[in-house]
Amino acid sequence: MFRKIFIASILLFCFFSIRVVFTPLVCQADSTVAEVAAEQDEYAEYDEEVGDLYDPWEPMNRSIFTFNDRLHLWIIEPTSSGYQKVTPSILRSGLRNFFNNLLEPTRILNCLLQGRFQDAEETFLRFALNTTAGVGGIMDPGTYEELKSHKGQFFQTFAKYGVSSGPFLVLPFFGPSDIRGTVGLVGDTVVSPTFIALHNEPAVGFAVQGLNTINQTSFKLGEYEKLLGGALDPYVAVRDAYVQNQQELLGK
C-alpha cells in the first residue's frame, strides 16, 4: 500500500513540476504585460498545432538514437525475422491480441480522466468481451461486434490539462519521446496489469516485455528501414515522424 501511495505521489509531483517548468514563457525586456501574455498564447498555440521541436539535448539524444538504431538493426530485427519464420501466424496474432488487451485498462482510465466517457464505456465493453469470450484476449470478438478500442495514454491526459510537451528526448530502448511523454510512460507502466502482476518479478517482467517487442516487430519487419530509407539525417527523420505521430494521437 505504501509503495502505491509513494508512486502516486511521485507522479503527481512530476505532473505539476513539468507544468511549471515547461510551460512556454516568451518575454522581452521592454514588453508590456499584455504583450508578454500575447506571446505566451502564440507559443502555446504553436506547441498544440505543430508540436514542440525544442531539442536542447541533441548531442545526447543523437548518441542514444545511435544505440537504439544499432539495437534494432543488429538484434531486434534479426531476432524478429527468425521468430516470424518459426512461429505460426495464428500464434503471433493471438499474442498480439493478448498484449493489446492488457493495455485496455490504461486506456479506459485515461479516457475517464479526459472526460471521454462514451469512449471509456465502449473500450470497457470491448475489454470485458475479449477477456471473457476471447479467452483472456487471445481472440478478438470485440472487433466482430464493432467495439472500438479508443486510444488513451497519460501523455494525452497531461496535454488535455495544459501540460506542454517540453524538450525532445530520446530514451534508451524506448526511442523518441519528450518530457511529458516520459512522465506519461511512467504512468502508463505503473497502472498496467503487467506491471502490477510482475513488479516483484523484474526478470519475468523484462522477459514478457521482450517477447511482446519481438512479436510486435514481427508484424512490422522492414518498416523502420523504409522510414529511414533515403533520409539525409536519420535522427531528424525519426524526430519528425515522432512529432507527426504525436499530432495524430492528440487529434491535431
Q: From residue 181, give the alpha-carbon distance in Å to each of 64, 158, 216.
A: 17, 9, 21
Sign of the dihedral defined by the CA atoms of residues 164, 167, 173, 175, in that order: positive
143 and 101 Cβ atoms separated by less than 8 Å: no
Residue 121 has a pLDDT of 96
Distance CA 239, CA 53 (A): 8
DSSP letters spanning 95-133: HHHHHHHHTHHHHHHHHHHTT-HHHHHHHHHHHHHHHHT
Residue showing cell 530509407:
229
Q: What is the pLDDT of residues 150-192, one digit of tens each?
A: 999 999 999 999 999 999 999 999 999 999 999 999 999 999 9
In a domain, 229, yes or no: yes
Closest CA to 32 of 40, 24, 22: 40
What percentage of the chain has pLDDT greater than the value 70? Answer: 79
In a domain, 215, yes or no: yes
The pTM of the full predicted model, rounded to 2 decimals, is: 0.75
Residue 252 has a pLDDT of 52
62 and 175 Cβ atoms separated by less than 8 Å: no
Residue 171 has a pLDDT of 97
- Mean per-residue pLDDT of the chain: 83
Distance CA 93, CA 33 (A): 58
Q: What is the pLDDT of residues 55-97, one digit of tens each?
A: 999 999 999 999 999 999 999 999 999 999 999 999 999 999 9
In a domain, 207, yes or no: yes
In a domain, 6, yes or no: no
pLDDT tier, 47 (very low <50, low <70, confident <90, very high otherwise): very low
Residue 216 pLDDT exceeds 80 = yes
In a domain, 30, yes or no: no
Residue 16 has a pLDDT of 40
In a domain, 175, yes or no: yes
Per DSSP (E only), the strands in the chain are 168-171, 175-178
Residue 109 pLDDT exceeds 90 = yes
Number of H helices, E strands in the chain: 14, 2
Residue 201 pLDDT exceeds 50 = yes
In a domain, 14, yes or no: no
In a domain, 16, yes or no: no
Which structural domain, as residue segments, surrounds residue 134? 53-249
First to last CA, the chain: 39
Number of domains the chain is built from: 1
